[in-house]
Amino acid sequence: MKHIQKLFTIFIIAILALIMEFGLHHPLWAQILVTLTGAILAMSMFVEMVKTLKSGKYGVDLLAITAIIATLAVGQYWAAMIILLMLVGGDTLEDHAAHKANSDLKSLLENSPQVAHRLDHENNSTHNIEIDDIKVGDWLLVKAREIVPADGHILKGSSFFDESSLTGESKPIEKETGDDVMSGSLNGDTVVVIQADKESKDSQYQRLITLVRESEAKPAHFVRMADRYAVPFTLIAYIIAGLAWFISKDPVRFAEVLVVASPCPLILAAPVALVAGMSRTSRNGIIVKTGDVIEKLATAQTFAFDKTGTITQGNLSVDKIVTAQNVDKAQMIELAASVENNSNHILGRSLVSYAKEQKISFQNVSSVKEVTGNGIQAEVNGKIVKVGKSSYVTGVDSKIEQTQTAVFISIDDQYAGYITFTDRIRPEAKQTMQALIQDHHARVMMLTGDQQETAAKIAQQAGITEVHAELLPDEKIKLIKNAPKNAHPVVMVGDGVNDAPALAEADVGIAMGAHGATAASETASAVILKDDLSRVEKAVEISADTMKVARQSVLIGIAICTSLMLIASLGVLPALLGAMLQEVVDTVSILWALRARHPRI
């Protein structure tokens, strides 16, 4: 808005100057007006440049300031006016381009739910409450086409949910009773009742909004590339301009060269490309908090992965089903799953999911009694069924529980069998590791606190040869900190609270945020919103492409500017025309930078 107002002011001054010279025939007044305007803007730019230099960065506005002063000094005040319009117009164009590139992030904020419908399940009445007033355990009514206000699971009903704003997955996902739903997902055409598993501030969508606001508050940093090209470009411009003046003995030639030596491709193009790349990552279910993360990901040399919840799925699934003699396996699963369908315990939810996959029907239960930390009991078709720890179900401890995660089942106080659970590797894990190693030539390793034997087994399945197991959080940090210089940047990928210190220590920390801990998401530099490990490789691919486009946009702008400088040094490019051509250079550079929003074909 500020740049638009400044552009409007400069434009009005330009019109007034035109009227003075060509309408009222007072060229001196027009020259004075333009000179005063140019002097004020040049002085303000000089002050900003000094502040930039004091902060330890190079002020690339020096060329623009010199061009304004030079054109005014030799009487080319209309060229100076064009430069003023070009500079302010370039800033306005940058704002527009950045806004366009950042639109995908901002759309998340616009969809933020504001109210929820709390359901009193005793009298079946509802009343509206603020999002911040949601408590864990609240029953919430989600109407058709409404956004889910908090993370929870469905108690009644089924519907299709659009999670595209969270995960980038465009296909609506069908959810039934017992299934988890994420805040921020859009309910379909039926009403459902959910139970809140988290308060609104801890839910997926609110965490995402926090991350988006962080990324908006921290603009893309692209100091290194600007520094790399700005100093030599400025020196070349002054050398060409100086030689042109020296050879021609005409100071106007000096001004004509500097008019086309605009640093705008450096100032505008690279940051626009980075913001465009951040927009593209968001559309792929990856939130990148700052622009320098893109630069680091593009050149990452080492990837360290946590095991549980990162390389593995993080949710236990049925592994073995063992029955006692004369017990029917299918019946045991049917009875146990029917009982566990009334529990929120992680193993119970895993067993219910397995039963659904096997198309096993659930029976009506009654007299449900759950003993926290031990198990659950209920009556099913006249039979008393217990599911839980061995000591709760059979009255004695089992050695099986010392080595495996298991639940035991009894029917009418008769031991029926047990079910073990295991954490399986993500189906996309091996392909992701191969892509990082083969396509990006990266070093890949696993850092986990799990036992060596378990870690080695998972690593082998994932195609990882370097395994560091039985690590405490500070030992993970030490391994990252002590990585050789040529192994940086180091990327750490994790999902749990125990991963947060390592994520903060790494050059880039990536949190698997779909079901991960808030601490991991807050300390990470980037967050993957979809429960898909391949997004790590996708983030690297997008980052590398973004940096390539950024570099191209800068070099294209510099090449065009250098060509124009050489032409201007011959005296065949008037200052006025040169100033106009500069706007073309800026437009080409920025439009090229915006290509980072879309994948290359």
The total of other beta-carbon atoms located within 10 Å of residue 443's CB is: 18
Q: Which residues make Cβ contacts (< 8 Å) with residue 567, sequence separation at least 6?
A: 260, 573
DSSP symbol at 315: S
Residues 6+ apart with CB under 8 A from 523: 500, 501, 503, 504, 509, 511
Helix (H) or strand (E) segment spanning residue 447: strand 443-447
Q: Which of 472, 533, 522 is closest to 500 using CA atoms?
A: 522
CB 245 within 8 A of CB 251: yes
The DSSP code for 324 is -
Task: Write down how long the chain is.
Answer: 601
- 306 counts as catalytic: yes
- Answer positive or negative: Cα dihedral of 50, 56, 62, 64: negative
Packing angle of the helix pair 77-101, 62-73 (nearest 10 deg): 150
**How far are the Cα atoms of 94, 136, 263, 461, 526 from residue 270, in angstroms, in the given order?**
10, 45, 12, 40, 20
- Catalytic residue (one of 91, 292, 306, 423): 306
Q: How far apart are CA 198 and CA 532, in angstroms?
A: 22
Selection from 510, 541, 522 nearest residue 309 by Cα: 510
- In whole angstroms, give the CA distance from residue 88 to residue 268: 12
In whole angstroms, give the CA distance from residue 451 to residue 404: 13
What lies within 8 Å, CB to CB, of 184 at 6+ separation is: 108, 111, 112, 113, 147, 148, 163, 165, 166, 203, 204, 205, 208
Pair of tokens at residue 360: 């096993």
Distance CA 538, CA 573 (A): 46
Cβ within 8 Å of residue 60, ≥6 positions away = 226, 230, 234, 263, 266, 267
Helical segments of 1-57, H only = 2-18, 27-54
Quote the CA–CA distance of 28 and 421 in Å, as a whole number.
Answer: 88
Is there a contact between 237 and 261 (Cβ–Cβ < 8 Å)? yes
* Maximum Cα–Cα distance across the chain: 111
Residues with catalytic function: 306
